[in-house]
Structure 1
Amino acid sequence: MEVERQADVPDIPRAFWRRPGVWLAVGVVLVVVAAAISVPLLLRAAERCADGVTRTETGECVGVTDGGYAFAPELAGVQGLIRAENESVLATGKEFVSIALMVPMTLTEQDSIPVEWVRHHLQGAYVAQHRANHDAATGDRPLVRLLLANPGSALARWEPVVAELERRRAAPDHLVAVAGIGLSLATSRDAMARLSAAKIPMFGSTLTADDLGDIDGLLRMAPTNAAQARAAAVHVKAGARTALLIQDDTEAELYPRTLAESFSAAFADADHRFTGQTEFFDSRLSGVGNTFLQMIPNICTARPDVVYFAGRGEQLLVLVAQLVERNCKDHRIRIMTGDDLSAVAFPGDLARRAADAGVEVLFTALAHPDAWREAAAEFDPAATYYLRDAVCTVCFPVLFPDDSLDDASAIMAYDAVLTAVRTARLAGVPPDRRMSTEDLLQVRNRLHGEYSVAGASGRLSFDERGSPTAKVVPIMRVQPDGTARFAHLAKS
């Protein structure tokens, strides 16, 4: 029996959403889109250390913070105090401005400064901020927030940090000034040139280089290298008629050349002269110790009343070690040098051997707390109170009992921030207008004479190039234990 065939039933196409290939393709597209969105976000998150702070390819976190992000464990304590004060300012609802403290806060082996120098800068700035906001003697309007700007090791990452500071002139930060900077480096000069072009006033803490007078908008708390050398010459001339000059003639080093030229010009006169020719060395080359060894016989022959060392503190330690072994121990050697020695740890064993061998070392400093006691007439007690009083709970000795003022870092940062505050409060803009950086630039030209600032490092009266005039300069003497003791207060 024949079976009847069924007619062919035509295939009915599946709906596209029921096709597995479509969903596979959709899945692939979604994965690609998600990756395109999330991977950059994840990469950017990995680059962020905090709001306003980014991570570099070397792992440094650079940028600007209100204290909420700690750039180094050693800075966490003082940054916490700064953040609390900043939040207190915001909680008042009153008018405020922000001042940024800009110094390297992530150090590497390439940096010549220790982390203590950085911490002391932050501590001095905080004490100044707290005083400005709570001591009516400094005024009361506007209140001050303190931002912390880290341009990285040797200020190498200054460009994005300065760009961030420019942005923060607007609300909600209302930035009006930058304080600190502190190091006379090529990167510092570049950063300051950019800030100057942006019309942001700068209040340098420990800047001493003589080639910064052309940067418009910069006021410096510290006397220049040339001014320090002149002060040193005036000091030694009282007890010395002859001098011998030892100079680092490294071409790239402006510091020793400036010291040598200024000391020479101030020392030589009818009653004072140089004996022997200048002894040069090149710190870029190896064998500096051997070079010093070859100088010793000439120093013994010249028998100068004072040796002026125009060079860095590191090399001076090598010279002192050589002089300890000299043959002419019957002739005492008195060495005078610049403030770079204050940033170098003088080994106690070397200091003892030098004292025993009749080698005395003196240097100029930017500031020192002993000067407040030994030369009290040169300082306003109100200007030094918050750094020296051991009873008030918001003064430096109570807040930071384990830290010292001896390296001048905290003192100079304190003066830089308070000078910025004084400038802002003298601006006196109308209540219906926000203060701008240009308001401060107008006022900075008035900070002399009757409007000079009583600083903890001495009275601050600025010339047309932004340098302090007739600034006091402490002369320090290295003790047999390697510490420095105040010897005299000279004028720059």
Structure 2
Amino acid sequence: MEVERQPDIPPVPRPPWRKPKWWLAAGVVLALVAAAVVVPTVLRSAGRCADGVTRTDTGECVGVTDGSYVFAPELAEIQGLVRAENEAVVASGEPFVSIALMIPMTLTDNDTTPVEWVRHHLQGAYVAQYRANHDVATGDRPLIRLLLANPGSGLARWQPVVAELERRRTTSDHLVAVTGIGLSLATSRDAMVRLSEAKIPLFASTLTSDDLRDIDGLVNMAPTNAAQARAAATHVKANTRTAMLIQDDTEDELYAKTLAESFSTTFVDVDHSFAGQTEFFDSRLGGVANTFLQMVPNICTARPGVLYFAGRGQHLLMLVAQLVERKCKDHPIRILTGDDLSVVAFPGDLARRAADAGIDVRFTALAHPDAWRAAPAEFDAQSTYYLRDQICTVCFPLLFRNDTLDDASAIMAYDAVLTAVRTTRFAGKPPGRLVSPEDLLQVQNRLHGENAVPGASGWLSFDGHGSPIAKVVPIMRVQPDGTAGFADIARS
């Protein structure tokens, strides 16, 4: 069958705007390429605060910087100093390595540490860095860069920060150690375990928890809670024969449990005993103040030479408020506790009332500048010079006129960085390469005896678990205005 032929239909002319042009086709290709490159970049930058620093879903900027990115307005001045010293190190052309200070630098309402604690850590670390680079008494090579690592509030974002620190071992930063940490939290332990697995040495500043002693590569500047309690017990045994223990019995409160066990073991002997039974309370439950009110009559009856409070500072304030109203005001009350009280604001009104009621509150501290004057033989004068000299323009008192050493943060951070520096320079210069983190791990085992580190918080001779041996422990006393004054010195 023959198909009927249709008449030819002339083609319809394409409108001018639809005619293909080479430049338009090229433009489409370029646009697609640009979209493939720019869009992901924009999306990434939306969560990026700076090189090595990212923005979290809570708005915090966490990560690692050389000081060029400022984590908080209160840290701008000190971060500027760190950045300038880091730039000078690089510009010198001399071999250098980097040491990181890792502490939370963006605080929220959930943090118990004040921003002053953070700033003082940075200040102490910077003074140590400056001394390491300009005072040949600490050695001279390699030079030291200081990286600032912010794992966020409560160290909750430690994972990306630790990953960034691991990466910087093999970059031009030459990271060899991490200092700081500072807080005895579960997140702190997780971060340190990961750093330990990565063979990065750790030099902790203010960690006191006893359950961190099993982390390889960790060296701690601070005496453990158990060591502080032993020092406190030994100290009071010289002038009292009886004690009474008040203990937070919360199941997960390891701090209180450690203090209680260590104090009890050290205090009790043939000549020293407890008056009355231990008074327990549970800080998880409501009515803690009411519980303390019920304890007061037993305290009055026992009339102990000292009350040892194994608990947190915020709860001690409640106990003091109840003791102010006790009936046995003829019996002076002496209270001794751990260093947690150092981070609690003691209300001036309560402190005055306590003093008027014959209540003397003391606590162990990690360090205090008054100890340098009270017991100069316990400290190396060169190690404290950069923190105490009033004329030296690069020393703490003139650099940071509005800040103080009293909370121990700057002193402990200074010691942590200088110990890392000493370890680095003890490692020497391996043939054909810079010192590595593994080299520092070898040297850590030698930091004892004749190789003890002269720290501003006291001589640092470390045991096999990285804890300081027989270190001095300042005993602080709450003054009638609520501030803490140096009272005495003990030994851990």
Structure 1 length-normalised TM:
0.95
**Partner of 1:334: helix, strand, or coil?**
strand
In structure 2, what is the Cα distance between the partners aligned to 1:433 and 1:16? Answer: 68
> How far did residue 283 of structure 1 move?
1.0
In structure 2, what is the Cα distance between the partners aligned to 1:442 and 1:27? Answer: 60
Deviations for 1:160-219, whole angstroms, at most 9, x for unmatched residues? Answer: 000000000012100000000000100000000000000000000001000111100000
**Partner of 2:336: helix, strand, or coil?**
strand
| Counterparts in 2 of 1:57 and 1:268: CA distance versus 1, 3 Å | same
Deviations for 1:9-35, whole angstroms, at most 9, x for unmatched residues? Answer: 833654998349999999999877655
Deviations for 1:373-423, whole angstroms, at most 9, x for unmatched residues? Answer: 011111110010000001000000000010000000000000000000000
| 1:201 aligned residue | 201
| Aligned residue type for 1:440 | L
**Partner of 1:84: helix, strand, or coil?**
helix
**Is 1:331 equivalent to 2:331 in the alignment?**
yes
Deviations for 1:354-377, whole angstroms, at most 9, x for unmatched residues? Answer: 000001000000000000001111
| 2:422 aligned residue | 422
| Counterparts in 2 of 1:460 and 1:357: CA distance versus 1, 3 Å | same
**Partner of 2:404: helix, strand, or coil?**
coil
| Aligned residue type for 1:180 | G
Is there any run of 5+ residues in structure 1 with no aligned partner, and where? 1-6
**Is 1:400 equivalent to 2:427 in the alignment?**
no
Q: How does 1:336-485 map to 2 (within 5 A)?
A: 336-485=336-485
| 1:4 aligned residue | none
**Partner of 2:420: helix, strand, or coil?**
helix
**Partner of 2:464: helix, strand, or coil?**
coil
Contact 1:16 1:22 in 2 (8 A): no
| 1:3 aligned residue | none
**Partner of 1:258: helix, strand, or coil?**
helix
Structure 1 segments of 4 or more deviating over 2 A? 7-40
Deviations for 1:270-329, whole angstroms, at most 9, x for unmatched residues? Answer: 111001111111111111111111111111111111000000010001111111011111
**Is 1:216 equivalent to 2:216 in the alignment?**
yes
In structure 1, what is the Cα distance between the partners aligned to 2:75 and 2:226? Answer: 33
In structure 2, what is the Cα distance between the partners aligned to 1:27 and 1:220? Answer: 61
| 1:56 aligned residue | 56
| 1:160 aligned residue | 160
**Is 1:140 equivalent to 2:120 in the alignment?**
no
In structure 2, what is the Cα distance between the partners aligned to 1:399 and 1:205? Answer: 21
| 2:96 aligned residue | 96
In structure 2, what is the Cα distance between the partners aligned to 1:139 and 1:33? Answer: 53
**Partner of 1:476: helix, strand, or coil?**
strand
| Counterparts in 2 of 1:16 and 1:435: CA distance versus 1, 3 Å | farther
| Counterparts in 2 of 1:9 and 1:72: CA distance versus 1, 3 Å | closer
**Partner of 2:101: helix, strand, or coil?**
strand
| 2:491 aligned residue | 491
Deviations for 1:449-472, whole angstroms, at most 9, x for unmatched residues? Answer: 111100000000000000000010
| Aligned residue type for 2:456 | A
> How far did residue 486 of structure 1 move?
1.0
In structure 1, what is the Cα distance between the partners aligned to 2:28 and 2:168? Answer: 43
Q: How does 1:295-310 map to 2 (within 5 A)?
A: 295-310=295-310
| Aligned residue type for 1:305 | G
RMSD of aligned alpha carbons: 2.1
Q: Which range moved further: 337-346 or 38-47?
A: 38-47
> How far did residue 434 of structure 1 move?
1.7
| Aligned residue type for 1:465 | H
In structure 1, what is the Cα distance between the partners aligned to 2:366 and 2:9? Answer: 101
In structure 2, what is the Cα distance between the partners aligned to 1:314 and 1:299? Answer: 20
Is there any run of 5+ residues in structure 2 with no aligned partner, and where? 1-6
| 2:112 aligned residue | 112
In structure 1, what is the Cα distance between the partners aligned to 2:327 and 2:22? Answer: 95
| 2:3 aligned residue | none
In structure 2, what is the Cα distance between the partners aligned to 1:252 and 1:21? Answer: 74
Q: Which range moved further: 419-428 or 33-42?
A: 33-42
In structure 1, what is the Cα distance between the partners aligned to 2:239 and 2:211? Answer: 32
In structure 1, what is the Cα distance between the partners aligned to 2:22 and 2:131? Answer: 69
Q: Which range moved further: 161-170 or 482-491?
A: 482-491
Q: Which range moved further: 24-33 or 482-491?
A: 24-33
| 2:45 aligned residue | 45
| Aligned residue type for 1:102 | M
Contact 1:17 1:23 in 2 (8 A): no
**Partner of 1:154: helix, strand, or coil?**
helix
| Aligned residue type for 1:391 | I
**Partner of 2:59: helix, strand, or coil?**
coil
In structure 2, what is the Cα distance between the partners aligned to 1:308 and 1:178? Answer: 35
In structure 2, what is the Cα distance between the partners aligned to 1:242 and 1:226? Answer: 20
In structure 2, what is the Cα distance between the partners aligned to 1:101 and 1:452? Answer: 22
In structure 2, what is the Cα distance between the partners aligned to 1:431 and 1:188? Answer: 35
**Partner of 2:276: helix, strand, or coil?**
coil
| 2:258 aligned residue | 258
| Aligned residue type for 2:276 | G
| Aligned residue type for 2:95 | E
| Aligned residue type for 2:377 | A
| Counterparts in 2 of 1:426 and 1:12: CA distance versus 1, 3 Å | same
In structure 2, what is the Cα distance between the partners aligned to 1:97 and 1:21? Answer: 57
| Counterparts in 2 of 1:461 and 1:22: CA distance versus 1, 3 Å | same
| Aligned residue type for 1:306 | V
> How far did residue 231 of structure 1 move?
0.3
